[in-house]
Amino acid sequence: MTGELIHLTPWDLAIAGVLVVLLAALSHWTRLGVAKPLLVAALRTVVQLALVGLVLQALFAHATLYWVVLMSVVMLAVAGREVMARQKRRMAGWWGYGLGTAAMFVSSFVTMLLALTVIVQPTPIWQPQYAIPILGMILGNTMTGIALSLDRLNDSAWQQRPVIEARLMLGEPWWSAIEEIRRDSMRSGMIPMINAMAAAGLVSLPGMMTGQILAGAPPMEAVKYQILIMFLITVGTGFGTLLAVWFGARRLFDERERLRLDRLKPGRG
């Protein structure tokens, strides 16, 4: 039997915020160097989620296809920027932003559309109550996977330049010369989701399931939605990672199959 939703007050959130401040103070005292980023991230969380809450409230009240598409594009644009910003070395020029963004667009949006049209089937199909949360969860995890895989690809290629060039001089094609790096990069992007699925229910209760249960949904209904979302997230992350690494690796070589690390530049990751 489910109870009523318990509403949180600003003071309730402030108590949790004080704990974050205490953690930042301890980090500063132990010279970990993460106190300022921790506080900035916490502040961004409050501001960004509050703004998103207001936007979603207005969007749900005046649901139109135009506004749903616009918000989806904004989410994709911001995710593309985060992928680029988290890499130690990234592609120079528009490739630094376009590669990860394009991979996320193909994998995340196709997965979301499949879920909405074939599985969930809301009416209308673009109903924001379903479209925006599903896209957000798929996009957020795909963003992490692609960022990890591209960071591993570019940094490994930079460090293993002599090995790659030696294999090229022995007559191997570009895809064979960098094959091990590509496999490791794809694996690094997919491992977080594999771990999340393996630990779901035993080590942790995933976020969507926890949120639905707290909101009063029957536990088994929350479980079914969580299974669906985790499968969709894994598919989106997997295909996005494969696309990003393949085209990213190809970009590291020119038309004559020469390694071109001048196409990379230092990032802020």
pLDDT tens sequence across 3-29: 566 777 889 889 999 999 999 999 989
Residue 205 neighbours by CB under 8 Å, 6+ apart: 213
pLDDT of residue 102: 94
pLDDT in tens, 84-107: 887 888 888 888 899 999 999 999
Q: What is the pLDDT of residue 107?
A: 93
Confidence (pLDDT) at 3: 57
Q: What residue spans define the domains of the chain?
A: 1-62, 64-266
Given a cut of 70, the residues of the chain with pLDDT beneath it are: 1-5, 202-205, 267-269
DSSP secondary structure string for all residues of the chain: ---PPPPPPHHHHHHHHHHHHHHHHHHHHTT-S-HHHHHHHHHHHHHHHHHHHHHHHHHHHT--HHHHHHHHHHHHHHHHHHHHHT-SEEESTTHHHHHHHHHHIIIIIHHHHHIIIIII--SSTT-HHHHHHHHHHHHHHHHHHHHHHHHHHHHHHHHTHHHHHHHHHTT--HHHHTHHHHHHHHHHHHHHHHHHHHHBTTTB--HHHHHHHHTT--HHHHHHHHHHHHHHHHHHHHHHHHHHHHHHHHHTB-TT--B-GGGEEE---
pLDDT at 205: 66
Neighbouring-strand partners of residue 178: none
Asked if residue 185 lies in contact with residue 153, where contact means CB atoms within 8 angstroms, the answer is yes
The predicted pLDDT at position 209 comes to 74
Q: What is the pLDDT of residues 159-173, one digit of tens each?
A: 999 999 999 999 999
Strands 89-91 and 264-266: antiparallel
> Quick one: pLDDT at residue 252?
93
pLDDT value at position 268?
61
